[in-house]
Amino acid sequence: MYATPSRLPLPNRTRIVEVLNLSLADGTDLYTQAKAAHWNLKGPHFASLHSLFDGVASAVLGFNDEIAERAVALGGRATGTLRQAAKGSRIPELTDSVRDLELARHLADRVDGYLEGLRAARRTAEEAGDDDTVDLLTGVATEMEKQGWFLRATLEG
């Protein structure tokens, strides 16, 4: 761990950086899966889902940057390469399906998995007394819940 202006004890910062890097791995994986869904999509709902999938990818990409920078601000290292993400991601691999609504359902499930990891990381930050990381992860979860809702709303009716 590197020197940092954080007043959190080293063991707390170390644990928070670990869970942030898990969230970064999940987010990097989710980003690539959303882009793959965006690129390979087929079916009558192509036009609406194509931009929706790209919106999920764009949202999570921005949050990956914020999560990585928070890990470094706490004195850690952001482990955000694709190889590192592949080793650390808890998100299941996206199906080979390219069918529009089926793919939307699978992507929504991956967003749900990402949210589970974010919430676990937020609990760790709460227990460690890191209000700033809690705030960051709350904002990420709020936006990603909205992205998940967009996906699920397309499946209703």
| Nearest-5° Cα angle at 117, 88 to 77 | 50
Domain span holding position 118: 10-155
Q: Is residue 157 over pLDDT 80?
A: no
pLDDT per residue over 117-130, tens digit each?
Answer: 999 999 999 999 99
Mapped onto helix, strand or coil, the DSSP state of residue 120 is helix
CATH of the domain at 37: 1.20.1260.10
Decide if 132 is inside a domain.
yes
Decide if 114 is inside a domain.
yes
What ranges in 41-130 are assigned the alpha helix state H?
Answer: 46-73, 82-88, 100-127
Predicted TM-score (pTM) above 0.85? yes
Mean pLDDT of 78-105: 93
Q: What is the CA radius of gyration of the chain?
A: 16
Confidence of residue 96 (pLDDT cuts 50, 70, 90): confident
